[in-house]
Amino acid sequence: MSEETPRDAEFSPDAQDIEWMRRVAQGDMRAFESLVEAHQTRVVGTVAKMLGDDTDAEDIAQQVFIRVWKSAARYQPTAKFTTWLFKITRNLVFNELRRRKRHPATPLEHEEEEHHFQAADQSTMAPDASMLDAEMQNAIQAAIDSLPEAQRMAVVLRRYEDMPYEEIGEVLGLSVPAVKSVLFRARAELREKLRKYLDA
């Protein structure tokens, strides 16, 4: 993390983000770098979970932060910074998902590499357990990939980002009851698709 003024350390995370954005709006590149450093892991992870692979995750995350930079002068902290950030992420991810539907391509080599990486990452586990865990993770991701866009985003934000219903609603433009309904339908569908694992 780059050096900040002593009072920065006393800020809540959202207040810190707002302060960085105020400085970014003035062209402060160090503040922008701090903002990216603070949030890029979450953005890249969410994009990768939404797309089902890491192929374009970093490129799209880079586009997200380019939008942040370009929009800084117009940014108004009427909601949490992360809510605004994930709205931008949602828009770019949904655009990419629609582009992929129009121009489908299956990067099989990448998928095989990814599956191998996930299995190899469990190096402290017994080989059989490692393979089963990798298979389970791949099955979960495949089930999430099959969900409609809004359901998929709601699940990713809730499951992996532990985001509250209210914030998910703001990101997706839904009421809290609608978010709960979307998640209920998504979870029911995921349970059905993962039944053989859940019943094991």
- CATH number for the domain that contains residue 92: 1.10.1740.10
Stated pTM of the model: 0.76
Residue 33 domain-assigned (yes or no): yes
Which band of pLDDT confidence, cut at 50, 70 and 90, is reported for residue 142? confident
Q: Is residue 156 part of a domain?
A: no
pLDDT of residue 29 exceeding 60, the answer is yes
Q: How many domains does the structure of the chain reveal?
A: 1
The H-assigned helical ranges of the chain are 13-24, 29-51, 57-71, 81-102, 108-120, 127-145, 149-159, 165-172, 176-193, 195-198
The reply to whether 29 falls in a domain is yes
- Residue 113: its pLDDT value, please? 39
Look up the domain containing 38 and give its range: 1-105
Within a domain: residue 67?
A: yes
Averaged confidence pLDDT in the chain: 82
What pLDDT score does 52 carry?
84
Q: Pick from 166, 175, 189: which is nearest to 80 by CA?
A: 166
Query: Is residue 133 pLDDT above 60, yes or no?
Result: yes
Specify if 182 maps to a domain.
Answer: no
- 135 located within any domain: no
Would 129 be classed as within a structural domain? no
Is 60 exceeded by the pLDDT of residue 115?
no
pLDDT given at position 195: 85
Quick one: pLDDT band at residue 105, thresholds 50, 70, 90?
low
| Cβ neighbours around 84 below 10 Å, total | 20
**Residue 53 confidence (pLDDT):** 79
Categorize the per-residue pLDDT at 57 as very low, low, confident or very high, splitting at 50, 70 and 90: very high
Q: What pLDDT is stored for residue 13 in this prediction?
A: 77
169 within a domain of the structure (yes/no): no
From 42-46, 109-113, 127-131, 180-184, the region with the lowest mean pLDDT: 109-113
